[in-house]
């Protein structure tokens, strides 16, 4: 977990939320990162395709939506990260470098994660995930956007997790000074 936090801070994250538990026998892992990004003054006039390109989204499911704070850009991307990326996530979660050949799991959670990683690496598979991102214009700051990104492993609960994140984002408000 310490490396995950350090990576998020290094990327300019303001907030990082991470959850990893077993729910009814299903491993559930998700994260939610909030940052502020500056896309330039012309970003406010960009169309969906341009915003998706500028923001670095590779999403086919993207468009403008209205939430409590106004119109924003939402993108959903289903991706299949490499096993190496998953290894990095497990390493960050455990706060150590993961050497699958010699690593002895310290906790039940790490035992499950390492067993899954060993299984996936042996099979040569990748672990799919879903990412939902929102770009919300920051009031009185042309070109500045709040970027809220949610990532979860694809599982039987992924759709419900996406709905939960959408509900969280729909409650965003700006405080005026």
Model confidence pLDDT, tens digit, residues 17-58: 888 777 777 777 888 888 888 877 777 677 666 766 655 566
Q: Is residue 114 part of a domain?
A: yes
Q: Are 86 and 104 part of one and the same domain?
A: yes
Domain count, the chain: 2
Same domain? 74 vs 137: yes
What integer pLDDT is reported at residue 88 of this predicted model? 66
Do 115 and 49 share a domain, yes or no? no
Residue 112 domain boundaries: 82-127
pLDDT confidence tier of residue 170, bands split at 50, 70 and 90: very high
- The reply to whether 70 and 147 lie within a common domain is yes
Is 115 within a domain? yes
The reply to whether 62 and 86 lie within a common domain is: no
Tokens of 107: 């906790």
Residue 99 falls inside a structural domain = yes
Distance CA(52)–CA(48), nearest Å, equals 6
């Amino acid at each position: 977990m310490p490396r995950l936090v350090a990576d998020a801070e290094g990327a300019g994250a303001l907030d990082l939320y991470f959850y990893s538990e077993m729910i009814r026998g299903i491993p559930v892992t998700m994260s939610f990162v909030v940052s502020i990004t500056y896309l330039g003054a012309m970003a406010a006039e960009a169309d969906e395709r341009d915003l998706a390109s500028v923001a670095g989204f590779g999403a086919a499911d993207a468009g403008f939506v209205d939430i409590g704070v106004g119109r924003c850009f939402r993108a959903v991307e289903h991706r299949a990260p490499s096993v190496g990326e998953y290894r990095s996530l497990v390493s960050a979660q455990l706060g150590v470098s993961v050497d699958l050949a010699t690593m002895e799991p310290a906790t039940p959670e790490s035992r499950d994660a390492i067993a899954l990683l060993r299984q996936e690496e042996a099979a040569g598979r990748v672990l799919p995930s879903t990412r939902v991102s929102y770009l919300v214009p920051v009031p009185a700051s042309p070109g500045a956007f709040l970027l809220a990104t949610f990532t979860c492993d694809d599982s039987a609960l992924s759709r419900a997790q996406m709905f939960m994140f959408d509900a969280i984002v729909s409650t965003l408000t700006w405080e005026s000074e």
